[in-house]
Amino acid sequence: MDKVVPSAAEAVADIRDGASLAVGGFGLCGVPNALIQAVYDAGVGELSVVSNNCGAMESGLAILLAAHRIRRVTGSYIGANKEFARQYLAGEIEVEMIPQGTLAERLRAGGAGIPAFYTPAGVGTQVADGGLPWRYDGAGGVAVASPPKEVREFDGVEYVLEHGIRTDFALVRAARGDRHGNLVFARSARNFNPLAAMAGRITIAEVEELVEPGELDPDAVHLPGVFVQRVVVLAPEQAADKKIEKRTVRA
């Protein structure tokens, strides 16, 4: 099946207000900027977003955040995104912070059809005991706090129960892809993109390079096309636009 659609706008046209999105990317690396921009241009709001972070440097999810289109964020990193921190502390957005490895596994589990799993990460902390601020009241108090989670002992070690994540849509970016949706990710872009793609009921991938079916070495495919429903080919200038958050150079 040829999964290529003509434009990012067409690919995201059925994303509606209140939808949940799993969004790939690690910092500014491997972020599906064209698809995020298309969601912004469509005027969609009240979104629940699952992503490692919420953009930075006025790019990625930061453009949706700044426009107050995001209602809730499930992630593991606020970083240098001052607007994200401001909205969170002001009670304008709900935020569920999750240990990074747990977030990765919750996405993978959702995509693999695993409803829940036990992990030692977070045992003995508010991650397991509850009480983490999900939403502030704008006056320094907590309006919504995380609930306690089930903790069980296996072979003398305590583990906390975490649930798999499924979302209405997933937006990801790949270095290469074919018309069947098989994807290859470059380096750090592989950290969260395949997992986000697995979690989406409808997964949309923007690719820097489109190849014909059979041109990708099967051993090089990081995500099989069974997880991808739509493919958007980036223009050369979009594919080349790769921001660096903190540039370091050698003399």
> Which domains are delineated in the chain?
8-115+164-240 (3.40.1080.10), 119-163 (no CATH)
Cβ neighbours around 67 below 10 Å, total = 11
11-17-23-29 Cα dihedral, nearest 10 degrees: 80
Within the chain, where are the H helices?
8-11, 33-41, 62-66, 82-89, 100-112, 126-129, 193-199, 236-240
* Mean per-residue pLDDT of the chain: 94
CB 133 within 8 A of CB 145: yes
Q: What is the pTM of this model?
A: 0.93
User: What band does 186 get if pLDDT is binned at 50, 70 and 90?
Assistant: very high
The pLDDT assigned to 238 comes to 85
What DSSP state is assigned to residue 26?
A: B
Contacts for 232-241 with beta carbons within 8 Å, 24 or more apart? 232/4, 232/5, 232/7, 232/8, 232/11, 232/34, 232/35, 232/204, 232/205, 232/206, 232/207, 233/4, 233/206, 233/207, 234/34, 234/206, 234/207, 234/208, 238/33, 238/34, 238/206, 239/208, 239/209, 241/33
DSSP state string for 156-217: TEEEEEEE---EEEEEEEEEEEETT--EE--GGGGTTHHHHHHHEEEEEEEEEEEE-TT-S-
For residue 33, how far is the Cα from the chain centroid?
12
Read off φ and ψ for residue 33, nearest 5 degrees: -65, -40
Residue 150 tokens read as 């089930």
What is the Cα–Cα distance from 124 to 241, expressed in whole angstroms? 43
Gap between the Cα atoms of 233 and 206, Å rounded: 6
Distance CA 151, CA 132 (A): 16
Over residues 50-105, the pLDDT tens digits come to: 999 998 777 889 999 999 999 999 999 887 789 999 999 999 999 999 999 999 99
Task: Give pLDDT, residue 140.
Answer: 87
Whether the predicted pLDDT of 246 surpasses 80: no
Please compute the mean of the pLDDT values over residues 184-207 and round it to a whole number. Answer: 96
Query: What confidence score (pLDDT) does residue 28 get?
Result: 85
Q: What is the pLDDT of residues 121-160, one digit of tens each?
A: 999 999 999 999 999 998 989 999 999 999 999 999 999 9
- pLDDT for position 207: 97
27 token code pair: 């910092």
105: tokens are 């596994």
Q: What percent of the chain has pLDDT over 90?
A: 84
With left for phi above 0 and alpha for psi between -120 and 50, is residue 84 left, alpha or beta? alpha
